[in-house]
Amino acid sequence: MKVNYLFALFILMPQYVFSQTHDNATILTISQNPENQNNKTLTYSNELEYLKKNKSFVRSVDYPTQVIRMEQDIENQQLPCDEVHNQIDKILVQHIVNEQFTYAIYISCHYNPETKLATQFIISSYFDPLSDEAVAYLESYLREYNGTDLLGTKYKIESAKGLVISLEFAAGMKKKPNRPPFIEYHKDRSNFYFKSNYEMRAKLFSDIYQNFFTNDPNKILPFLDKWVSSHASSVYKAVLRDSNYTELQPEKIFIMENNEELFVSNFKQYFAHYCEPYENHRCLNPGKMDNEQVAL
């Protein structure tokens, strides 16, 4: 029987949140600037828990992922960081951090170490409504708050017109699942376009949870053919038989409206599968291959 547990480890650069079972892990990292330690940072994300709860995707309308990428000097505001976070909480967190959305929100306030007054705030965020009702709620929220004053500047929420996923897959050997080194036997990278982060999660991430965390060749090999390359199974059938660890690292690159520069979030998510607990201690069980796969 697999025992599920959740734990968190926080360090300066980056922060990590793990969601792990006996033989696999989903890891969310949050990058910070190590050069400026005079900051108060808050993060909010339900990216891990939503798919873990196996919730269905029920939205019937297309809607773009919403992005906030603000970086503003606020020395003239003469406010402590607690008040800066309080104002951002009122305009953003209280409205979006709920079960109507999937969200990843990074808020940082930098301060003068002598005066303790805020010098700059940063918001790096993306979120998606999960239902048609949430879309209606979001549109009402945007009409009321987008473009309003926030700490002397305009609160700006943008629509992403698409999402590119740069997906890296690697297989090899690792003695300890949470520690280096990772001896890579083979690595590949592929790229995919999605209309939104919502669509990506419904197609790619849901498939990861269904077919990546296994050593069943009837699941993992078709998964690799679909998401790594069309003939990945011909390469990885042998590689996975000799591997005890695999990793998927999807890099999210949001394409913004009006040809604005790309947005890459502080949040990074990757998936790790440690195969030692299987009876053969490897990431492929040849005994489960059907006749067609054996002939490959």
Q: Are 125 and 156 in contact (CB under 8 A)?
A: no
- pLDDT > 70: percent of the chain: 85
Position 30 pLDDT exceeds 90: no
Q: Give the containing element (helix H, strand E) for 134.
A: helix 132-145
pLDDT, residue 242, reads 98
Position 293 pLDDT exceeds 60: no
pTM above 0.95, yes or no: no
Radius of gyration of the chain from Cα atoms? 21
What is the tens place of the pLDDT at every residue in 104-159?
999 999 999 999 999 999 999 999 999 999 999 999 999 999 999 999 999 999 99
Joined together, the tokens standing for residue 214 give 């296994």
**Position of tokens 């520690």?**
179
Query: For residues 89 and 25, which has the higher predicted lDDT (pLDDT)?
Result: 89
Phi, psi of 227 (to 5 degrees): -110, -15
- Under 8 Å CB-to-CB from 144, ≥6 apart: which residues? none
What is the tens place of the pLDDT at every residue in 165-220?
999 999 999 998 888 999 999 999 999 999 999 999 999 999 999 999 999 999 99
Peptide bond into 181 cis (omega under 30): yes
Q: Are 134 and 100 in contact (CB under 8 A)?
A: yes
Inter-axis angle of helices 217-227 and 232-241, to 10 degrees? Answer: 130
Joined together, the tokens standing for residue 71 give 């970086």
- Domains of the chain, by residue range, sit at 26-160, 161-294
Position 294 pLDDT exceeds 60: no
Q: What would the mean pLDDT of 17-43 be, rounded to a whole number?
A: 69
- Under 8 Å CB-to-CB from 171, ≥6 apart: which residues? 184, 185, 186, 187, 236, 239, 240, 243, 245, 246, 247, 283
Position 51 pLDDT exceeds 70: no
CA distances to 13, 63, 138, 199 from 100, rounded to whole Å, are 30, 14, 9, 16
* 228-288-217 Cα angle (round to 5): 5
Position 17 pLDDT exceeds 50: no
Phi, psi of 41 (to 5 degrees): -120, 135
Phi, psi of 10 (to 5 degrees): -115, 125
Q: What would the mean pLDDT of 238-243 be, rounded to a whole number?
A: 98
Q: What would the mean pLDDT of 273-288 be, rounded to a whole number?
A: 93
Joined together, the tokens standing for residue 117 give 């007054």
- Residues 209, 77: Cα–Cα separation, whole Å: 46
CATH class of 26-160: alpha beta
Position 260 pLDDT exceeds 60: yes
pLDDT, residue 54, reads 57
3-class DSSP state of 174: coil
User: How sure is the predictor about 13, in pLDDT bands with cuts at 50, 70 and 90?
Assistant: very low
